[in-house]
Structure 1
Amino acid sequence: MSVLLKRDGLIVSCQARADNPLHGPSFMGAMALAARDGGAVGIRANGAQDVQACKAAGLPVIGISKVFTDGVPVYITPSREAAEELAKAGADIVALDCTPRERRGDAPETLVRYIRNDLGLEVFADISTFDEGLAAEQMGATYISTTLSGYTSYTEPKPEGPDLALIEALASRLSTPIVAEGRFNTPQLARSALVAGAHAVVVGTMITNPREITRAFAQSLAARP
């Protein structure tokens, strides 16, 4: 299977929670177009409607489906049904939580096989540790992403900056392309991920969430002595 995401490229995560004024496929589709015009090589989008909207940008779309269940930590594309919905919506790549945590759905190795063999799509494995990255490669993931570093109970507390050490460790050991994701909030930090060995970098909040960007500025000004 060919690798769709260009090396040294920027992938923009076009997502907005339900309480965000920009929530909805029309806004996310516009974000994807803006990201394309700015030089992005791919889009990460949540849910079938947003995936369909983002396809108009003409870039590879990494689809995820967030399915929340009380008391269950895994919610990123936890089942074959969720993956199939993304495929029908036009996702080129399906991302899933590849940690060994409790889930309501299918085991990650089952999902990886299903996405690659039955749906014929590439797999984007979200992991949080080095061992999870090794396991994801053995499962057959097309890409391994550091998305969940700092967001699992055993990698908390979340550090302020990205996990460059994890990227470097994975890139030096694995042949699967490593994608850097998580807290890359400046162009300089994104560039440092490539230096550490990342194939590409995902940036979300600092590009597509003006509410959080505004909050950061406002809090900094309010803290002036």
Structure 2
Amino acid sequence: MSFALPKGLIVSCQARADNPLHGPVFMGAMALAARDGGAKGLRANGPTDIRAVKSADLPVIGIHKVFSDEYPVYITPDFDAAAAIVEAGAEIVALDCTMRPRNGESPEVLVRRIREELKAEVFADISTFEEGVAAADWGATYVATTLSGYTEYTEPKPEFPDLELLEKLSKRLSVPVVAEGRYNTPEWVRRGFEAGAHAVVVGTMITNPREITKMFVRGGVPE
């Protein structure tokens, strides 16, 4: 089977509404910079930003964040959200495949519908080994450790990437496993590949200069 996502570094080009870099102009520029630096793919949020990052001519993992006061799942929580980002150009749909409650169809149903009706690949964001195995069984094209440390099953959030989960999934699954979550240095990225990752996703440490600046101020500037 051929995959849209090649092996290598994936750069997450996202900025929240309160970030000075929020918006498609900046996301498009980030995507071009990531491409020129050697990234093999991109992760972007929402139809507008996805259209902008397509200018880099790299595979796009699209997500569609839809927040709810009632439900914890917000990463592409329903089929309409998935359809919108595929229409915008995402070849791969990132989907929350945790066991948490959501407003709408189960992830098992969404994986099938996205593959069959939208003809897109599915990138399953999971937090536990059991969720990863289930997502692969449902037909997800990729399984990613994105949500390890961010669900009630895996809190408190550790300081470092979950290499143990990555290695267990890589040994168990036949689909590509992607490392994501706190891969904040080249050393951690290297260790992710050594643990079996098909690709490693990095966001904040490449595309969020505000948070990088805060890190330097906290760690290096005397009071």
Whether these two folds match at TM > 0.5 is yes
1:195 paired with 2:194, answer yes
Secondary structure of 2:28 counterpart: helix
Give the letter for the 1:79 counterpart: D
What's the counterpart of residue 38 of structure 1? 37
**Equivalence for 1:156:** 155
Give the CA deviation at 1:105. Answer: 2.3
- Equivalent pairs, count: 223
Structure 2, unmatched stretches of 5+, are none
Q: What letter matches 1:88 in structure 2?
A: E
2:83 is the alignment partner of 1:84: yes
Tell me what 2:128 maps to. 129
CA-to-aligned-CA distance 1:94-129 (integer Å, 9 cap, x gap): 001001101112210111111110000100000000
2:204 is the counterpart of 1:215:
no
Q: Partner of 1:5 in structure 2? A: 5
Per-residue CA distance 1:169-208 (angstroms, 9 max, x = gap): 0001111100000000000100100100110100000000
Deviation at 1:71, TM superposition (A): 2.9
Report how far residue 165 of structure 1 moved: 0.3
1:107 aligns with: 106
State the match for 2:164 in structure 1: 165
**2 CA distance for matches of 1:123 and 1:35?**
22
Whole-angstrom distance in 2 between the partners of 1:11 and 1:221: 28
Matches of 2:6 and 2:143, distance apart in 1: 14
What SS is found at the alignment partner of 1:83?
A: helix
Take 1:117 and 1:34, find their aligned partners in 2: how far apart are those partners?
34
Secondary structure in 2 aligned to 1:141?
coil
Give structure 1 stretches of 5+ with no counterpart: none
CA distance in 1, matches of 2:163, 2:220: 29
Return the offset for 1:221: 2.2
Root-mean-square deviation (CA, aligned residues, Å) is: 1.0
Instruction: Report whether the alignment pairs 1:19 with 2:32.
Output: no
* Residue of structure 1 equivalent to 2:184: 185
Partner SS state of residue 43, structure 1: strand
Deviation at 1:154, TM superposition (A): 1.3
- One-letter code of the match for 1:3? F
Q: Take 2:190 and 2:104, find their aligned partners in 1: how far apart are those partners? A: 36
Counterpart AA for 2:65: K
One-letter amino acid of the counterpart of residue 53, structure 2: C
Alignment-mate amino acid for residue 80 of structure 2: E
